[in-house]
Each structure stands twice: as structure tokens, then as C-alpha cells.
Structure 1
Amino acid sequence: MERENFHIEPGAPMFNKGYSIIIDTKGPYFVYGKPTLRQEFIVPNAEGEAWEYKTGITYKVDHEPMVLCRCGHSQTKPFCDGSHTQIDWDPTLSADRKPLLDNVEISEGEELQLLDNKTYCVHARFCMAKGTVWHLVEQSNRPEAQELTIRETFHCPSGRLKLRDKKKDEFLEPRLEPSLSLIEDPQKNCSGPIWVKGGIPMEDSECTPYEIRNRVTLCRCGNSHNKPYCDGSHMRTQFSDGQPGLTS
């Protein structure tokens, strides 16, 4: 992968050639560089609001590439077992390649600006706590509201929500090491997307690149209408990867 082929989202970390993901147009994700792969559970607070992540299993992967299921039917999830060749599913990579910031709605605060691209919503719900991030940003001149605005935005795994510091004219992003997480959502009794962190570059098997982003969520239930990205379909279909810890 050559750097000049990729558009880098503002605020994303510098391109790291040590990692890459190639998305088979008819099959799985091929992951190179041996990034850490772990479970992360969405955990609610006392009020029942999605509030933090709790780490589960960390998978030991010695071989390269790491091949992850995209169709949702593998019997060895999260890894591919070839089931995509035996089932009726739509592997079409239908998402456009436009920069995420090309299609955002903007909410203004005195100090912070919230940019929201709803196309990438995965229903993780961190943005709904404490009066919702859209209301909080309007009060971001108050320290408590600003802290909550940043917290809720940074917990959005897909990067649908982004913050710009208006005084410094720069985007704010959490510092994330290149890694992959399997999001599990016990509160909704379903397994969520693959959370790709830290600016790992992606392209399809025809060498067409996607924008490099700090936070990306990839479909692993096979039902998204915005592949390779998650669109929240795992909640509608109650997708479960069968891994330990989901059912309380």
C-alpha cells in the first residue's frame, strides 16, 4: 500500500505501513501486521446508559494474514472458515469512498464544533448519555459539559462523531494504538462490529483504497447495507458471534 493512494481524515494518526487490511470483494478481511485482536464489551452505568468498554478475550494469532469473517456465518468466528463460499449473502462493498467529513451535520458550541455523519452510526449509544452529545456541545464553554462532550465523542467507535476545537482550529481525536476489537453488546444481547483503531489503512482486493481514519467499524454480521462499514444491522438481526461473555 502506497501512502499517496490514500486520503487521510483530519485528526487521524500518521500512516503506518506496518499494518493493513485488504477486504476481499467476495469474502473475508485479510489483516496484516499482527495487530492485537480483543473483545470489548459495552458496559452501562448505574443509569443504564452506555458508558465504558470492558476488555474481554485477547486472541493469540501467530499466522499472517489474520483472516476474519465478513459474512457472519463462519463456525470459527471471529475467523473465516470459508462459509462465505457456501451461503447466499451479498458481499457487495457498497459504501462510497468519499471522505467522512464530506457529508456531516454540524452542531455548534462556543468552544467546540461537533461534526456528525449519520451514515456510520453503529448504535453504540455512548452519545446518548447525560443529555446527549448534541446538547452537551452547545454548552461546551462549561468545563463539565466540555468534558462529557469529548468523552462521548471519543467513545464513538465508528468515528461518526468528530470534534473540532474552534479556538485552535484543529480536530480532536483519542490516541489509539493500531489494533482491532470485537465489540460485544450484552445490554442489547448482540455482537457488534470489528472496531479498527489507530489509522490502519484499508483497501479492497482490487486495490481501491478507503479513507484512513482513526476510528472505523467494519461489518461482521454480513447484513450491513454500507459494507464494509457497519450500519447497525447486527442489532436488527440479533447477531451473535458465539464467543464467551456475551450472555450474562
Structure 2
Amino acid sequence: MAIQCNEAGESVGWTEVGRIPTQPRYALCRCGHSGSKPFCDGTHADGGFDGTETAGHVAYMECSVAIDGPGVELRDARKLCAEARFCDRAGGLWNLVERCDDAEARAIAEEQAMLCPSGRYVLRDAETGEEFEPELEPSIVLIEDPELGVSGPLFVRGRIEIVDATGEPYEVRNRVTLCRCGHSGNKPFCDGSHIAAKFDDGEIPAK
């Protein structure tokens, strides 16, 4: 899926650009150098790729900060940011949260938080604690970013369990992004390094 931008270059939604046939079991490239992207072809074994997982197993609520607004609470875990930039429009998500007594501002804030693929942001009802989350079918999406001319991370949707190399599970979440450029400093999660690395899987659609 490609990040859809408006005329101002702001991220506003998603555009499906195709579906890739898969087998019941398959391995996805995480080093960024496979000749058969998005699938692994074993190149990581020859190229000195270090896929050591550096992210901890801290629960989201423990690694995120709270930003309070009228009737809402925004949770923000900055280290999970995949630089998809849905939070920049209309003055920015943090500023929108402070104006959530305005119906339009609240609607945009809810939309921006739910569009964030990495799960960095979660917007909650301040009174009930209910999280505003999109209904996502369990699936793995390849993110493309035509605006910046780069390929993004793996968007793991719909509460799919992710385990580390030892078999220990990470917290199950609705929205997660995993590094596939090989450069993240927060493996297995994306930290936006694909932008500086100019990662290109050969499938970036035109702007």
C-alpha cells in the first residue's frame, strides 16, 4: 500500500497498489538486499547482515507518554515512529488533541491516530479508556512512500502475534511496523531509517 498525500504533500490516507500471491508459509526479507523482495532469498547470510533485535519487551502503556485534551488522552511512544507523517496535517496531532472540544478537530485527531501504521499513537476516551482503533483484518502490508521516493516497512495489522528470535512474544497490537530495510536501530521494529537509507524495493509507485 502507498501513502496517499494531498497537494500540500501531507499524508492523508492509503492507496492499495496490488496484492502479492503467497504460499501458506513464506519468509520475508528483513535485510533489504534480497533479489526476490519482498521475499527472503538468503542474501542476509552472505552480506554480513546483523539482525540482532534491540527492542525490548516493554508494554506500550509503559513506554508511551500521555497528552491530555478535552475528553481524550493521546498516548505517544516516540521510539515506534515509522515516519509515515499522518500526524502532521492540520497543525499536528498534539495540537489537535488540545482542541478536541471542537468536533472537527476531534474527528481529524481520531483519523490521524488510527492511520498511524506503527502504533506510535493511540487515542483514548478520557472517561471510559476506550481506544479508537480501526478494524483491521490480520494481514501484512508492504508500505511504499511515493512522496519521499522510498519504500517503507512491513505494516503488520490486525493483532498478529510477533515473537523474537528466542520465541518470546512481543505485546500483541493492532498496528505494528517491522523494519525491512535492515537499518533500524530498534529492530525488529521500524524507526524510520529507511528514509535516510533511501530504501527502494523496486515497487515505489509514481507520485
Instruction: Verify the 8 A CA contact 1:190 1:246 in the aligned structure 2.
Output: no
* Residues in 2 aligned to 1:72 and 1:119: alpha-carbon distance in whole angstroms: 21
Moved over 6 A (4+): none
Hey, what does 1:195 align to over in structure 2?
Answer: 155
AA paired with 1:246?
P
**Count of matched residue pairs:** 207
Match of 2:10 in 1: 49
TM-score, scaled relative to structure 1:
0.81
Provide the C-alpha distance between the structure 2 equivalents of 1:148 and 1:194, rounded to a whole number of angstroms.
25
- Deviation of the 1:247 alpha carbon: 4.2
Deviations 1:60-92 (A, max 9, x none): 11x231210011010000000000111022110
The CA deviation string for residues 114-144 of structure 1, in whole angstroms up to 9 with x for no partner, is: 1100010011000000110000011111110
Distance 1:207 1:108 in 2: 36
C-alpha distance in structure 1 between counterparts of 2:27 and 2:129, whole Å: 40
Q: Which moved more, 1:192-201 or 1:86-95?
A: 86-95
Local SS of the residue matching 2:39: coil
Deviation at 1:189, TM superposition (A): 0.6
Question: TM-score scaled by structure 2?
Answer: 0.97
1:9-53 C-alpha deviation (Å, 9 max, x unpaired): xxxxxxxxxxxxxxxxxxxxxxxxxxxxxxx10111122211111
Q: 2-side partners of 1:57 and 1:92: how far apart? A: 31
Partner of 2:146: 186
Distance (Å, rounded) in 2 between the aligned partners of 1:247 and 1:92: 34
Residue 68 of structure 1: aligned partner:
28
Pair 1:102 & 2:65 matched: no
Superposition deviation, residue 206 in structure 1: 2.0
Name structure 2 gaps, 5 residues minimum.
none
**C-alpha distance in structure 2 between counterparts of 1:139 and 1:220, whole Å:** 36
Q: Which runs of 5+ in 1 are unaligned?
A: 1-39
Q: Per-residue CA shift, 1:166-216, capped at 9, x if unaligned?
A: 122222211111011100001101000000000000112421111100000
1:106 Cα offset (Å): 1.6
How many percent identity over aligned positions? 43
Which residue number corresponds to residue 121 of structure 2?
161
Look up the SS of the partner of 1:202 in the other structure.
coil
Give, as a single letter, the amino acid of the residue that structure 2 aligns with 1:210.
Y
